[in-house]
Amino acid sequence: MPEQTEHKRRVRYKGTHPRTFEEKYKEHDPERYADTVAKVISKGSTPAGMHISIMVKEILDFLQIQPGQKGLDATLGYGGHTRKMLEQLGGQGHMYALDVDPIEIVKTKERLASAGYGEEILTILQQNFANLETVARQYGPFDFMLADLGVSSMQIDDPKRGFSYKVEGPLDLRLDPEHGLSAAERLRELSREEIEGMLVENSDEPYAEQIANEIIRTYRSGGRIDTTTELAAVIERSLMFLPENREKKDIVKKTCQRTFQALRIDVNSEFEVLEAFLEALPHALAPGGRVAILTFHSGEDRLVKKAFARYHKEGIFAEISRDVIRPSAEECRSNGRARSTKLRWARMA
């Protein structure tokens, strides 16, 4: 007889509401538990394991996708933007999509395939969008392109990825956990001056000096910073000089957010990746091709604004967005993670 494998029961909610990422099985399967997901979204939250696409209408209005065109989603993520662009193609033309995350790319490919978007109309490549030049040489040029530079909610919500200071997890922060140094490893190799510089450059952290001092003090006293909560504790200790009042809790929260952001940007070389993408952009778009870029950090937005202005001055881009476009107040209310979003667009000559 074939060997019997023990059936493992699904983890159930403890009490009336799920508290851990693993317990939120209903939100991880939105097609099966649509009512639960709808309730979470209606409260202005993002369901665990999901990602709500931002500024979809504004992006589609600009890209003006026509059936038969060829497009690229440089940052596939959960696939929400890709799916909307595929709908515009109406079964004609082809979409290409890139993602560096080996974990989420498999889930998204299955999700889109089950929605009817197979390889005949969609090609998904595990590639960093810094490699745009190589991708365009093989598959381009593209009539329309989107790059959403935000970290996906699926990555933020999963404690195993180490993106959030709110829950215990390994201090990883890599978009591709199979390559490169984790955030914990990276932090150990930096000097006090380098840590302070990273915090200032990547997140404009006002308490960069105090945080850098406390990190080095922790290491020198034999302490470890291997988990998300250990780093959060170090940040909190670095701010002990602040007066105990109602504002302090909010200051600690925002300092943790900025510190994790700065470390994530450093670990994934995000500014360097964006610069490589922008450098290859003119060679990847077809004449009259359109590109939209969503940024979530002032440093990213500055790089995009500067590159677009240069290409426009050189006559490579016929038209660019003069001002940054922000999500509507209604979208920000329904999706809190949209608040820091900035959209810029450009059209090739």
The CATH homologous superfamily to which domain 56-153+271-348 belongs is Vaccinia Virus protein VP39 (3.40.50.150)
- What pLDDT sits at residue 58? 94
- Residues 220-249: tens digit of each pLDDT: 999 999 999 999 999 999 999 988 888 999
Q: Do domains 56-153+271-348 and 177-267 have the same CATH topology?
A: no
Question: DSSP code of 97?
Answer: E
Confidence of residue 109 (pLDDT cuts 50, 70, 90): very high
Span of 193-197, 198-202, 331-335 with lowest mean pLDDT: 331-335
Q: pTM for the complete prediction?
A: 0.81
In the chain, where are the structural domains located? Answer: 1-50, 56-153+271-348, 177-267
Distance CA 322, CA 319 (A): 9
HEC profile for the chain? Answer: CCCCCCCCCCCCCCCCCCCCCCCCHHHHCCCCCHHHHHHHHHCCCCCCCCCCCCCHHHHHHHHCCCCCCEEEECCCCCCHHHHHHHHHHCCCCEEEEECCCCCHHHHHHHHHHHCCCCCCCEEEECCCHHHHHHHHHHHCCEEEEEEECCCCHHHHHCHHHCCCCCCCCECCCCCCCCCCCCHHHHHHHCCHHHHHHHHHHHHCCCCHHHHHHHHHHHHHCCCCCCEHHHHHHHHHHHCCCCCCCHHHHHHHHHHHHHHHHHHHHHHCCHHHHHHHHHHHHHHHEEEEEEEEEEECCHHHHHHHHHHHHHHHHCCCEEEECCCCECCCHHHHHHCHHHCCCEEEEEEEC
- What pLDDT sits at residue 9? 47
CATH of domain 177-267: 1.10.150
Task: Identify the residue whose tokens are 């699904």.
Answer: 10
Q: What percent of the chain has pLDDT over 70?
A: 84
CA dihedral 109, 273, 134, 145 (to 10 degrees): 60
- What pLDDT sits at residue 50? 53
Assigned token pair, 344: 């810029």
